[in-house]
Amino acid sequence: MAQPNTLPSTLPELLQARAFVQGTEQLTYLNTDGGVSKVISYADLFNISSEYARRLLAAGLTQSDVVLASFEDHESHISLFWACCIAGIPFCPLPALHPDPSRQIMLFNHLQSLFHKPTLVASAETIQGVLALVPDLKTLVPGELPAAGADTFHRVFPARRPLPSDTVCFMLTSGSTGNSKAVKLMHSNLLSSVRGKIRHHGSTPQSRFLNWIAFDHVACVTEVHLHALEANASQWHVSPTAIIRNPLNLLKWTSKLNITYTFSPNFLLAAVLRDLPEASFDEPIDFSNLRALISGGEAVPMKTAVAFADVLETFGARRDVLRAGFGMSETGAGSIYDTRPIPKFDDLNGPRYLSLGKCCNGIEMRVVDSDAGRICLSGEMGQLQIRGPTVFTEYYGNKRATEESFTNDGWFITGDLAQLDGGGNLSLVGRGKDCININGVKYPTQDVENYVEDAKIKGVLPSYIYVCPMRLENADTETYAVFYQHDIVVEAGVDAAQKRAIAIANRSIKNACTVFCSLPPHVVLPLPRSSFVKTALGKVSHSQLSKAYLEGKFNDLQAVLEAKDESDVDDAADKLSSPVDQVIGEIIGEIFSVDASSLRRSQSVFDIGASSMHLLRLKQVLQERLIIPLPTIELLKRPQIGELCDYLSDVLEAEKQGITQVAVKYDPIVCMNTTGSKPPLFLVHPGVGEVLVFVALARQLADDRPVYAIRARGFDNGDPTFDTFGEMSECYAEAIQRIYPQGPYNVAGYSFGGAVAFEIGKSLEAQGKDVSFIGILNLPPHIKFRMVELSWAEVLLNIGMFLSLIPSSALSPMRQELKRVFPEVAANDTKPEDPLGPINWLFDNSDKKRLLELDLEIGAFTRWVNVGYEINRTGRTFEPQGCVKNALTTVFCAIPLPSMGTREEFKQNRLSVWKEFSGERFEMIDVDGEHYTMLSEEHVASFAAHMRGALRRAESGLASPASSVTLSMDVDLDATFDKLHPSEVIDVRQVGTA
């Protein structure tokens, strides 16, 4: 054990020293609502981790191994981190695994090679998924480790004492590809880093730390966890989603817990300033104890800093609390900070961004003119270089990268362009190592460039794609541009056809970038050859391209490429020119009642007002006239007319050559809207299985969030229907996590889909996921009686009503007539051997105009009825149990089917029962229309407003008004709750004080 007056030289010595101190310092894990999940003393952490370390060794690990860690919670990561420290095994925390399996394979194959067969320690569920992709990876599940024998005591600390130069962990420089560099951090690096922070910020045992950054980020490991431990101070950890989902939680919990030290990147500062004017807090905010709110990851605009410092000061903090800092994985997080007070005014002639200040103990910096080989004077821009015991010494297993990153005299080249002011304070003015920085998450530009190149977009020249970060005037955060060379020589002038080809390439590049890093580029522009000036090493300066664009040097070219050619309007816009294009254009024009000659490839069918019924008819007519199959899913994936034309052209060509189309693997997820910064909304199909009913809602929602629909199995390619309700809901839950692995989750279901959404929410929450919203569209919780009623004949009639082939008022007499004409079909609860008779009878008795509009193909319609029957059959076993504890459960109440009585009776007797299966937050909202028309074009705008309001309440963490006030059905909530849509009315007569 370290002597009392000697500072610990390794991390196990530090934890042991803190374990022997008698005090109240502790480690607290919070749940997503800010409540305490678990409290553990440093003594308990030491004892638990020591036992964990011995069990790792008992499982066969040695000090020559590397442990990869993949968990979603801080507790699992921290326990394993310390177990590895005590056992002397290097530890490497992984970022959240990418939903694309190919990217996971790339990552693990790279780490297998880099670390020479490392061992992944993770949950059984995570390991099962990874092993399906990388079967030869060594793995361990914590709960399945063998007991440790007596022979392991001598192999762990304190019997085995590490050296200060031993490796503690490897931090990966980028989680976006499989080619991450591994930053090797030693005991000496980490202890130097945290001691420098303590000296710089004045941390003491009375300090209180709050962390919400994931453990794979060095800001969690050293900025808070080890920093607090070295200071012998208490620390609190909460899931990142709890803060990102509701940025105001950072203010609430900092105040409630009397926090002195926490972290907020610039994008979160901007989000707090955006949300604060409309916020209300249960308790007064008090920041009088706050000493340091660190902001790193990207530059903080001075206007944001001044506004945020005003907020802090209003709540009792000093103006020096907001502290911009510079740090990297290579420096153990923050190592340079500005502790000076924030100015009270944003001087237009002053600096645009906060200074980063001066170095902590353990690090020194210099700015170098690398071309001239000299140290820059104050105010001169140059290359930032740093050195000191805090700075790492190598990228593990990558000698070339290490050599390229250090000067001959031992200074680390950060890759940033910087300058020092007269007082020695650092400011960054650019980045040499190009990354795009999206809300604090860095994506190496080369990775994005490679991804675009791999897409093999027609006309885009390989090796001439440049992704360039930039910050627009007065913008809160960074964006980026993509400049590239097209095989069309743009400097020679372009005609209309060439403009069209360039526009298609631009759109494809934009789509690829959005898939890779979740944010589309600000601009995509092909440039003249002369714009790409290469150095002797064959490199093009990304920063110079960005600078030229921002200075307007490409404005004329951009205007030419985007201008309409008035001399030839048809050629100027991307008209439908090929024979197939023209046939498809005529069909679209006919269905949407628009002039086919006005249609353009760049248009989306949603731009011309596509409804679910339009798409149904479009599918049928395209199939009939082109004489090819068109799965609905393929139509939904290609709403852009040009993309649909290209797909159908390829199908026709394949048919012509006798090439059999490869069946598309079933995927329940249908993307209705790709864009938005908020967590997505997932919409589960109704009992008829299709998702076209959500088309208008996705268009009308306009809530800055992606919208995905979940479609049933069985429509296409001979896919079987689901056998059980559980199989269905689990399949959907897995698909949702594949699309959006981190949460929080918003799931709603229409009619039958409401029960499925409820089960999905339970499944996600049981896995420790954050579920913020469950929406149930006009379905009671007890549905077995209704599912039993839904025989094949009843499903046939309900789909007819769903498609408006028959009105709801005609349902009862149609049912009686069907029994008379087809008594055996009506009486039996099975699919008829010959379904065409009843289906043709339905068509004969349908609204002829509506039937003509839909142009239904009888084979596809028969399959639809069968799928609907099987879906509802699975619901006969559904019994609601439990609840989605942390979600807001919202029941949207429409006029029910006639057999269910009036709306008030339906709500009172059936819908209100959902309260028994909800958490603390529950509400019921009246919506316009009947059960089958609530999402129709007539009512969808008002429904979308109700949905926006519910999502806002869910994500704000606020309870529904039902918790505090009783409202009649006619009360205008605009004046009573958080500025909701004026028509948003909540019925609490059945809710009470939920």
Catalytic residues: 751
Number of Cβ within a 10 Å radius of residue 256? 15
Distance CA 919, CA 774 (A): 11
Q: For residue 489, what are its two tokens?
A: 């020589």
Three-state SS for 565? coil
Candidates 293, 395, 310; CA nearest to 346 is 310
- Decide: 295 and 322 in contact? Cβ < 8 Å: yes
Q: What does the block give as tokens for 937?
A: 């074009």
Q: Is the four-CA dihedral 796, 801, 804, 807 of positive or negative sign?
A: positive
Closest-CA residue to 127 (of 150, 97, 102): 97
The pairing of beta strand 333-337 with beta strand 358-359:
antiparallel
Query: How many whole angstroms separate alpha carbon 773 and alpha carbon 761?
Result: 8
* CB atoms near residue 796 (< 10 Å): 28
Widest CA span of the chain, in angstroms? 98
Whether 717 contacts 746, CB under 8 Å = no
Residue 610 · residue 639 · CB < 8 Å: yes
Element of type H or E holding 851: helix 848-854
- DSSP state for residue 299 in the 8-state scheme: P
> What is the DSSP secondary structure assignment for residue 282, as one 8-state letter?
S
8-state DSSP, 223: I
Token pair recorded at residue 189: 């690096």
Q: Which residues contact 767 (CB under 8 A, 6 or more apart)?
A: 125
Are 426 and 420 in contact, with CB atoms under 8 Å apart?
A: yes
* Residue found by looking up tokens 């929410």 in the block: 761
Place of tokens 């254009």: 585
Written as six digits, the tokens of 530 are 């002369």
Is 465 within 8 Å of 508 (Cβ atoms)?
no
Q: Which of 546, 488, 494 is nearest to 522 (CA)?
A: 546
Residues 6+ apart with CB under 8 A from 268: 243, 244, 247, 250, 440
